[in-house]
Amino acid sequence: MLVVYNPADGSEVGRVAKSNAAQVKAAVDRTCAAFPEWSSKLASERSDILRRWHDSVKDDKEAFAELMCRENGKCLSEARGEIDYGLGFIEWYAEEAKRVYGDTIPTHDKNANVVVTKEAIGPVAAITPWNFPFMMITRKVATALAAGCTMVIKPAEDTPLTAFKLLEHARKAGIPEGVFEVIVGDPKEIGLILTGDPRIRKISFTGSTGVGKLLASQCAATVKKMTLELGGNAPFIVFQDANIEEAIKGLVGAKLRNSGQVCISPNRIFVQNTIFEDFVKRLKESVARIDVDQGMREDFVVGPLVNQTGFDKVVSLVEQAKAAGAKVLMGGKPHAKGGLFYEPTVLTGLQDDSPLATSEIFGPVFAIYSFKDEEEVIARANQTEFGLVAYAYTSALGRSLRLSRQLEAGMVILNSGSVGTVSIPFGGIKQSGYGREGSYYGIEEYVHVKYVLMAGAQF
């Protein structure tokens, strides 16, 4: 049995049965067996079924929000926001299913037609993290199913209950066995089964870079297509010509979301030296207004970190920074509430090579660096193996254009702290991965292109 604990107080939230290797293989068999029928349905039929799933989940929104709050630790308002975001993917791909267009290409043979079609890639698998237990699943499953693929998914061990609840609604809505399967068990063993099975044609993974690299190497043997959304180390740059109030609002929202446990969370905050003192002072005032608490409240609060490993990592990163001479201007230690709560923290005086700057923090820690000019900060922002997202605040148009071209990231966000929505291509470059989720680009990941030459016509 896999027991799920509430990170806010350690109480048991629920338990699910772990699948052994034979059960995992049986789920893969069902996923493969269901493919021919599901992929040959009309796009409009798949669309109708996805929409029923969407409506069924939406009707149960509050129960999902409470479950996510207890399972993951995020507050109710964030959980509700995640559900809206996640439902958006089901709705979007229910529509997109009907728009997987092909091409005709001017022929090279006057007795032939050249046609390009897009076909569902096959049975596929996904492995998801715990930080968005709902949205990570709908984003992958809705896209795959819309394209005509069938999908088996392994959610994170910290948050499987949301996944099984989504499955329950899927069955109620008419998504048959095999078309969508959920399994939990030993992640390494499941990973080996999914990547090793030649019938599984693609793996979509969101999680750490280390596990992503391992899965990519395992997928090489059967030449599987992959979508990898891995770690990030987002720079957040504030120039002296920026609207400071807006920049602070954008930064605090982006950083404290999910207690900082988000791959697009601002990790290195670069503030121009001319506004540094003022910016830090106003940032502290803004952070001080936010409560730290368990999430079953209507207002936004910074919740606990998800588990002991995550908590220990934040403690260790901040302790190392302190030992290296960083100035703690706020927080810098576990919260008096105890357990997995950590104080929102503001730190300055760090070097670019400090562990806080080179690792994905995944906690409510604002690490702030000062810079002199644009050229310098772009070079420092790009000095990372990651390239998921980069944020910058400036009111200068020319600078915005230069930043949009020179920042090495799959997503560049100017004068906003908000990245995600269903209609944009979400994903990274460099070691943050490849492939895109959301928008019309997302469904391309689940189809292959087939060129058909129809020759032999006699005119």
Cα–Cα nearest to 232, from 207, 269, 259, 254: 207
Q: Can you read off the two tokens belonging to residue 88?
A: 């958006």
Q: Can you tell me the distance from the alpha carbon of 273 to that of 37, in angstroms, rounded to the nearest whole number?
A: 62
Q: Can you read off the two tokens belonging to residue 346?
A: 């503001």
Q: How far is CA 253 from the centre of its chain?
A: 17
Nearer to ligand ADP (CB atom), residue 154 or residue 399:
154
Nearer to ligand ADP (CB atom), residue 188 or residue 281:
188
344, 257 Cβ separation under 8 angstroms: no
Q: How far is CA 15 from the centre of its chain?
A: 24
Q: Can you read off the two tokens belonging to residue 310?
A: 């995550």
Nearer to ligand ADP (CB atom), residue 135 or residue 280:
135
Q: Report the phi/psi class of residue 454: left, alpha or beta, with left for phi > 0 and alpha for psi in -120 to 50.
A: beta
Beta strands in 352-394 (DSSP E): 365-371, 386-387, 389-393
Q: Can you tell me the distance from the alpha carbon of 133 to that of 140, in angstroms, rounded to the nearest whole number?
A: 12
Helix 76-96 and helix 61-72: axis angle, to 10°? 120
What is the full DSSP assignment across 98-111?
A: GG---EEE--SSTT
Q: How far is CA 100 from CA 37, 49, 110, 288, 382, in A?
A: 18, 17, 27, 49, 36
Q: Can you tell me the distance from the alpha carbon of 85 to that of 50, in angstroms, rounded to the nearest whole number?
A: 16
Annotated catalytic residue within 263, 360, 408, 445: 263
Q: Establish whether 78 is a catalytic residue.
A: no
Annotated catalytic residue within 181, 229, 343, 374: 229
Footprint of ligand ADP (CB under 6 A): 127-129, 154, 156-157, 187-188, 191, 207-208, 211, 214-215
39, 148 Cβ separation under 8 angstroms: yes
Q: How far is CA 203 from CA 19, 120, 278, 407, 419, in A?
A: 19, 14, 47, 28, 24
Which residue's CB atom is positioned nearest to ligand ADP? Answer: 191
Q: Can you tell me the distance from the alpha carbon of 430 to that of 136, in angstroms, rounded to the nearest whole number?
A: 21
Nearer to ligand ADP (CB atom), residue 188 or residue 199:
188
Q: Establish whether 263 is a catalytic residue.
A: yes
Nearer to ligand ADP (CB atom), residue 214 or residue 328:
214
Q: Can you read off the two tokens belonging to residue 404?
A: 């949009």
Q: Can you tell me the distance from the alpha carbon of 69 to that of 41, in angstroms, rounded to the nearest whole number?
A: 37
Q: Can you tell me the distance from the alpha carbon of 169 to that of 63, in angstroms, rounded to the nearest whole number?
A: 12
Catalytic residues: 229, 263
